């Protein structure tokens, strides 16, 4: 992929770098040369516009080729710079109980239970909607009433199949259930990207337009657990990594 010319202007450069990283994530085509060029530009931008943030050093130690995590680090600068800040989008959530972690799930009960046990192991409180009392409420009322949490973990498992109506059904790919995607979007809006993590099965088609969200591949060796615990701690939850 050819390296595009860099625009003039700090805000334009920031937008360019974010869009370029989003494209690499979506297309999965960021080779070593392209990633290195992107990271060098991002580090230079941070040194020029946010030297005191320490994000340039944080970006430098991310393993080569990990565009998604690099973008998450780069986006951390946005709330700290006036010409990038969107006050309506970056208000810090103030949950009544910051220890509560909402688990959004589909049909994979085994993964749901594994994540719930892991959250409990960290002395946090997992919230699974169907386990909460109904109290005569509709599903959406029950969901809203239980959504005042400090963090949300969304499980993207291959429960449905879908694709363009113009394509043959046998070409459809595995997707998470529609309620899971809906609740993912809800928590992105209510909590912010820093307080949402998605654990995904490798066979699932990833939802578009969710750049900056932490997507963790579910693996049999459990490495997702340490990554998730770190993200929750960085989001301000009382997580002790020594419990892992």
140 and 207 co-located in one domain: yes
Query: Is 0.75 topped by the overall pTM?
Result: no
Strand partners, 204: 174
What's the CA gap between 108 and 22, in Å, rounded? 29
Q: For residue 5, tell me if it sits in a domain.
A: no
Domains of the chain: total: 2
Q: What percent of the chain has pLDDT over 70?
A: 88
Residue-wise pLDDT tens digits, 52-103: 888 999 998 888 778 888 888 898 888 788 877 654 444 444 556 789 999 9
105 and 49 co-located in one domain: no
Q: Band the pLDDT of 186: cuts 50, 70, 90.
A: very high
Range of the domain at 128: 100-243
72 and 106 co-located in one domain: no
Q: Is 140 exposed, middle or buried (0-12, 13-18, 19+ CB in 10 A)?
A: exposed
User: Residue 196 sits in a domain of what CATH number?
Assistant: 3.40.50
> Pick from 49, 80, 111: which residue ends a domain?
80
Distances from the Cα of 79 to the Cαs of 86, 161, 165, 234, in angstroms? 7, 37, 40, 15
Q: For residue 211, tell me if it sits in a domain.
A: yes
Q: Tokens 């991310």 — which residue? A: 62
User: Regarding predicted confidence, which is higher, 47 or 96?
Assistant: 47
Q: For residue 3, tell me if it sits in a domain.
A: no
pLDDT at 2 over 80: no
């Amino acid at each position: 992929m050819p390296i595009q010319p860099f625009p003039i202007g700090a805000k334009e450069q920031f937008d360019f770098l974010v869009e370029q990283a989003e494209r690499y994530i979506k297309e999965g085509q960021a080779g070593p040369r392209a990633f290195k060029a992107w990271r060098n530009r991002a580090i230079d931008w941070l040194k020029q516009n946010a030297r005191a943030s320490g994000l340039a050093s944080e970006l430098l130690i991310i393993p080569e080729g990990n565009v998604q995590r690099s973008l998450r680090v780069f986006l951390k600068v946005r709330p700290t710079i006036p010409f990038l800040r969107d006050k309506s989008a970056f208000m810090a959530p103030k949950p009544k109980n910051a220890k509560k972690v909402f688990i959004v799930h589909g049909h994979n009960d085994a993964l749901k239970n594994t994540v719930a046990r892991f959250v409990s192991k960290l002395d946090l409180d997992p919230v699974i909607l169907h386990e909460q009392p109904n109290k005569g409420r509709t599903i959406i009322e029950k969901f809203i009433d239980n959504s005042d949490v400090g963090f949300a973990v969304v499980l993207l498992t291959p429960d449905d199949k879908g694709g363009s109506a113009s394509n043959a059904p046998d070409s459809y790919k595995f997707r998470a259930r529609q309620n899971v995607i809906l609740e993912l979007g809800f928590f992105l809006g209510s909590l912010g990207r820093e307080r949402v993590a998605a654990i995904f099965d490798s066979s699932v088609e990833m939802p578009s337009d969710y750049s900056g969200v932490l997507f963790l591949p579910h693996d049999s060796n459990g490495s997702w657990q340490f990554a998730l615990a770190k993200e929750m701690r960085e989001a301000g939850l009382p997580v002790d990594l020594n419990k892992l």
